[in-house]
Amino acid sequence: MSTEDKVKIALVGNTNIGKTTLFNKLCGLNQRTGNYPGVTVDKKKGFLKFGNSDDSKKIEVIDLPGINSLFPSSQDEELVVRYLLNYQSADFPDKIILVVSALNLKRNLFLYEQIRDLNLPMILVVNMLDIAEKKGFFVDLDELRAVVDVPVVGISAKKGQGIEQLRACLTQEVVVKPRASHYLEEEAKDVITQYVNLQENKNEFVNFLQLTEPLLSSDVARNFVLENEVPVRKWKTNASILRFKFIQAYLEKVVKIDKSKATDLTSKLDRFFLHPVFGILFFFAMMFGIFQAIFWLAGFPMDWIDQGMSSLTLWVGETLPPGYFSQLLTDGLLAGIGGVLIFIPQIAILFFIFSVLEESGYMSRIIYLTDRIMQKFGMSGKSIVPLISGLACAVPAIMATRTIENNRERLITILVTPLLTCSARIPVYVVVIGLVVPDNLKVGIFNAQGLALMGLYLLGILMTFVVAFVLKLVMKPSFKSYLIMEMPEYLLPTVKNVVINVWNNVRSFVWNAGKIILATAVILFVLATNGGDRFDSAEQKIEKTHPLATTAEKEGLLAAYKMENSYLGGIGQAIEPAIKPLGYDWKIGIALISSLAAREVFVGTMSIIYSIDSEEEMTIRDRLKNEVNPKTGLPIFGFATSISLLLFYAFSLQCMSTVAVTYKETKSFKWTSVQFIYMTALAYFSALIAFQLLS
């Protein structure tokens, strides 16, 4: 073990083998997330401590993205390979925990054999032993320990079995000695030896990777390949064949199969969940239930939060002395914060359901089930995970496309993902739907607002596939891709894992949105409560034009006049000619601009604008319902305007963070611009057509 205070242990393994579950068991809530995307593409760090309080060593566990081999075929695999080869890095691990599944040892041990040839200290962890036995697979751990010559621990990460034994191994020294290579043919060994002699690092397999992997090679390696006419593709193919032959030779002693003892339920369930008709129907029924739950289950806590924020705002306003600061706090900060906090229950429900789907193993079935359909639209079954993640947030969803090996399929997925309804759009949808659909309206036994929300989700999904099909026609494929994946077992979701995932996502949402909203709220309030000469002379103007008005009427007229002649009002009026055909006034224009920071800011902005206009304590929905066009006397947020607004937010690009992450992932200003322009045009003209037809 390292003599440093902090020992680094990397958690490595294939996808869908319970690696993240093991990470949560080892680290619990004592973890943080790095800069990498999604559930299975995060670089997470957690901490353990061993020893007494006077002489303890902190152990840092790094949960790396799931990979299939050290021959990287996607960006997340490249990330892991570079990490394991960067010996000089301060983050280089002192030890590796390699997790394999007892259900598919042959495939998983391929990764073990590769990492073993790096000669890194390693513990081999065999997970899902209990499930393997139910399927009739029995693993002899003693025999496996003898052939792999590294510590072997059998566990069930789901049930927590074997975790303490693994913890004990973490403090023990592990020495991995170099061994004779079995992945090279004789004709390749002499060439490799020549190259190794030129390098400072004498590890044979490291040098093999430098010669055969374009992503890892240097100028020296490329020149050596050209000068010696190295058959790179042949070497890699032969290396894989020889490794699998080597694994098969000892695996026959390690794994005994007796199907007569199998008590497998997974295959029975898959007959339904993977059925081409019933499986798809179940998937849509499940999504329908999600949208109903977002309104029904979240309704009660949302009312409590709404009442609590109203009471807090009233108490603060009555407690603090009247003045600019008091108004900033009540009508600015608290109004903006309340506009986000009220939607936490709905967002938490969304993340909870996604976590359950991931934990249970059903998400992998969705990938398999939808692959044939996705191929028709220029994507693959692996695109469904980023797309479903996009229902929570487009930023990590776009990052999660790194698992898609085909560049064309990955680019199409990136370009269409923001069309899906993310959690940031929920506050906008909920408020605007509430303006046109009564709370108590039912369609049969279903909540009408929930059906309306589902309709908007389905509209986003439909447009996603329409645009993807167009992109498929424009972007010609260079080769056909095939889906190869291992189906995980159905497992009961672990409450702890689900809670941790929901907590991390909701906390991240609130924190990130909160910073934007607080900054936006202050800026908007300052702009709304300051102006030029017309703003400063507002009281004299109202006295002159309405001398007979009552005190209450003058206060209302004064607030409206100040808002219209404030700096904020000037910005809104400047863009009003462009958005007026959509049914929007200058106040809505202000909210559209501010929501470029984050979609949920729209609600906070509207709340701030209408709080400044009114002395009454009302919810944002009530304020919008009561807003009347002074020229026509009709409600500003009528049916046509509300539908137009829903369509605009359904298709417009979600936020500037999405633009930034698209550029980061594509490294292309061209495709980033294409995404922004086509979504903006689609949003504008959809809203325009809807308003003109309905008004």
- What single string gives the DSSP state of each residue in 278-301? HHHHHHHHHHHHHHHHHHHHHHHH
Residues 83 and 198 in one domain: no
CA atoms in the 13 A half-sphere facing the CB of 519: 10
Q: Which residues contact 649 (CB under 8 A, 6 or more apart)?
A: 425, 428, 429, 432, 599, 602, 683
Place of tokens 């006077």: 54
412: amino acid identity, one letter: I
Longest dimension (CA), the chain: 104
As a whole number of angstroms, the distance between CA 490 and CA 479 comes to: 33
Q: Which run of H or E residues covers position 326? A: helix 324-327
Q: Which run of H or E residues covers position 303? A: helix 278-319
pLDDT higher than threshold 70 for residue 690: yes
As a whole number of angstroms, the distance between CA 179 and CA 116 comes to: 9
List phi, psi (to 5°) of 325: -65, -40
Angle at 637 between CA 635 and CA 642, to 5 degrees: 145
Residues 49 and 104 in one domain: yes
pLDDT higher than threshold 50 for residue 618: no
As a whole number of angstroms, the distance between CA 294 and CA 356 comes to: 15
As a whole number of angstroms, the distance between CA 207 and CA 228 comes to: 15
Residue 415's nearest CA partner among 479, 369, 470 is 470
388 located within any domain: no
For residue 214, the model assigns a pLDDT of 75
**Higher model confidence: residue 41 or residue 434?**
434
For residue 664, the model assigns a pLDDT of 77
Confidence of residue 560 (pLDDT cuts 50, 70, 90): low
As a whole number of angstroms, the distance between CA 101 and CA 390 comes to: 29
Place of tokens 């506009």: 339
Residues 126 and 23 in one domain: yes
For residue 599, the model assigns a pLDDT of 65
Task: Go through the chain and tell me how many residues it has.
Answer: 695
**Higher model confidence: residue 619 or residue 183?**
183
Q: Which residues contact 35 (CB under 8 A, 6 or more apart)?
A: 43
109 touches 98 (CB < 8 A): no
As a whole number of angstroms, the distance between CA 65 and CA 63 comes to: 7
pLDDT higher than threshold 70 for residue 617: no
Residues 92 and 216 in one domain: no
Residues 550 and 653 in one domain: yes
pLDDT higher than threshold 70 for residue 340: no
As a whole number of angstroms, the distance between CA 421 and CA 461 comes to: 8
Percentage of the chain surpassing pLDDT 70?
A: 81
As a whole number of angstroms, the distance between CA 610 and CA 585 comes to: 13
Summarised one tens digit per residue, pLDDT across range 482-502 is 565 666 777 888 888 888 878
pLDDT higher than threshold 50 for residue 2: no
Domain end point (choices 201, 232, 259): 259
Summarised one tens digit per residue, pLDDT across range 192-226 is 888 888 888 888 999 899 888 877 778 888 888 88
Q: Tell me what the pLDDT averaged over the chain comes to.
A: 80
Summarised one tens digit per residue, pLDDT across range 93-144 is 999 999 999 888 888 999 999 999 999 999 999 998 888 887 778 899 999 9
340 located within any domain: no
pLDDT higher than threshold 50 for residue 649: yes
For residue 117, the model assigns a pLDDT of 93
Confidence of residue 35 (pLDDT cuts 50, 70, 90): very low
623 located within any domain: yes
Structural domain including 201 reads 186-259
For residue 415, the model assigns a pLDDT of 93
User: For the domain that residue 85 is a member of, what is the CATH number?
Assistant: 3.40.50.300
**Count of other CB atoms within 10 angstroms of residue 1:** 16
What mean pLDDT do residues 542-555 have? 76
Residues 192 and 140 in one domain: no
Q: At what angle do helices 448-474 and 407-416 cross, to 10 degrees?
A: 140
11 touches 122 (CB < 8 A): no
Summarised one tens digit per residue, pLDDT across range 343-373 is 677 677 777 877 888 788 887 787 788 788 8
Tokens at 108, concatenated: 């998983």
pLDDT higher than threshold 70 for residue 611: no
* 392: three-class secondary structure by DSSP: coil
* 629: three-class secondary structure by DSSP: coil
What mean pLDDT do residues 547-565 have? 73
Residues 551 and 685 in one domain: yes
Place of tokens 């633009």: 659
Residues 100 and 237 in one domain: no
**Higher model confidence: residue 478 or residue 227?**
227
For residue 133, the model assigns a pLDDT of 80
235 touches 212 (CB < 8 A): yes
Q: Which residues contact 430 (CB under 8 A, 6 or more apart)?
A: 295, 343, 346, 449, 453
As a whole number of angstroms, the distance between CA 56 and CA 6 comes to: 10
Tokens at 361, concatenated: 């193993």
Residue 649: alpha-carbon gap to chain centroid: 20
* 256: three-class secondary structure by DSSP: strand
**Higher model confidence: residue 212 or residue 547?**
212
How many structural domains does the chain have? 3
For residue 216, the model assigns a pLDDT of 75
* 509: three-class secondary structure by DSSP: helix
488 touches 16 (CB < 8 A): yes
Residues 161 and 191 in one domain: no
As a whole number of angstroms, the distance between CA 51 and CA 314 comes to: 53
pTM for this predicted structure: 0.55
pLDDT higher than threshold 80 for residue 250: yes
Could you tell me where the DSSP H helices lie in 33-104?
75-85
**Count of other CB atoms within 10 angstroms of residue 54:** 5
229 located within any domain: yes
Residues 36 and 161 in one domain: yes
Report how far apart, in Å, the C-alpha atoms of 641 and of each of 208, 684, 690, 692 are. 64, 13, 9, 10
290 located within any domain: no
**Higher model confidence: residue 537 or residue 671?**
671
Residues 19 and 85 in one domain: yes
As a whole number of angstroms, the distance between CA 139 and CA 102 comes to: 7
For residue 361, the model assigns a pLDDT of 82
Domain end point (choices 259, 286, 315): 259
Residue 384's nearest CA partner among 450, 287, 313 is 287
422 located within any domain: no
496 touches 432 (CB < 8 A): no
For residue 600, the model assigns a pLDDT of 63
Residues 158 and 214 in one domain: no
pLDDT higher than threshold 50 for residue 386: yes
Domain end point (choices 231, 259, 287): 259
pLDDT higher than threshold 80 for residue 518: no
361 located within any domain: no
As a whole number of angstroms, the distance between CA 515 and CA 246 comes to: 55
As a whole number of angstroms, the distance between CA 620 and CA 211 comes to: 63
575 touches 541 (CB < 8 A): no
Tokens at 284, concatenated: 């849509």
For residue 615, the model assigns a pLDDT of 45
**Higher model confidence: residue 23 or residue 614?**
23
For residue 37, the model assigns a pLDDT of 38
Q: Which residues contact 361 (CB under 8 A, 6 or more apart)?
A: 16, 487, 488, 489, 490, 491
* 530: three-class secondary structure by DSSP: coil
pLDDT higher than threshold 90 for residue 34: no
Confidence of residue 169 (pLDDT cuts 50, 70, 90): confident
For residue 543, the model assigns a pLDDT of 82
Pairing of strands 442-443, 446-447: antiparallel
54 located within any domain: yes
Q: Which residues contact 23 (CB under 8 A, 6 or more apart)?
A: 11, 31, 44, 46, 61, 63
